[in-house]
Amino acid sequence: MLPIGKLSAATGVKVPTIRYYEQIGLLPEPGRSEGNQRLYDRAARDRLAFIRHARDLGFPLEAIRELLSLTDVPTHSCAAADAIARRQLAEVEARIARLDSLRGELQRMISHHKGGTIAECRVIEVLGNHALCQHDHAGETGF
């Protein structure tokens, strides 16, 4: 049994995040010590590692919830998990396309830069006037 600090160190997930995952039901409520300290078993550690890896791959929490619910019935077909992974892949590919567009715009902005003063700066000019951009990339970063 691991206290929350050791679970955090073992999985690389911060303590407040572990508590949040418990609060939203991704992690089950842990057992408690006599001193009321949270104690986690191997299953909770493995589940948290699964969540961490899925987050590292960009899966949203709702998709992780779906994947975890699938693991509760190991005899089910893998088709549902495949569909969730395909959705995530499509999102990643769309994000890459948006980032490629942004990279191109930044490269174009920089390549037209001729030095000089801020008053003549192409970077400042383009950032100040979205109409000078080749692509409409407003809100493309997802940040």
Give 76-95 pLDDT, tens digit per residue.
889 999 999 999 999 999 99
Range name among 27-31, 60-64, 90-94, 101-105 with the lowest pLDDT average: 101-105
- Whether residue 101 lies inside any domain: the answer is yes
Whether residues 86 and 34 share a domain: the answer is no
- Whether residue 139 lies inside any domain: the answer is no
Q: Global pTM?
A: 0.74
Whether residues 62 and 84 share a domain: the answer is no
Structural domain total, the chain? 2
What is the rounded average pLDDT of the residues 41-53? 95
- Would you say residue 139 has pLDDT above 90? no
Output 72 or 67, whichever has higher pLDDT.
Answer: 67
What is the rounded average pLDDT of the residues 24-36? 90
Q: What is the mean pLDDT of the chain?
A: 87
Dihedral of alpha carbons 92, 97, 102, 103, sign: positive
Domain holding 110, by residue range, is 79-132
The pLDDT of residue 36 is 85
Give the closest residue to 136 by CA, choosing from 101, 97, 95. Answer: 101
Residues 40/11, Cβ–Cβ less than 8 Å: no
Give the closest residue to 24 by CA, choosing from 68, 70, 57, 88. Answer: 68
pLDDT band at 138 (very low <50, low <70, confident <90, very high): low
Residues 48/7, Cβ–Cβ less than 8 Å: yes
- Whether residue 109 lies inside any domain: the answer is yes
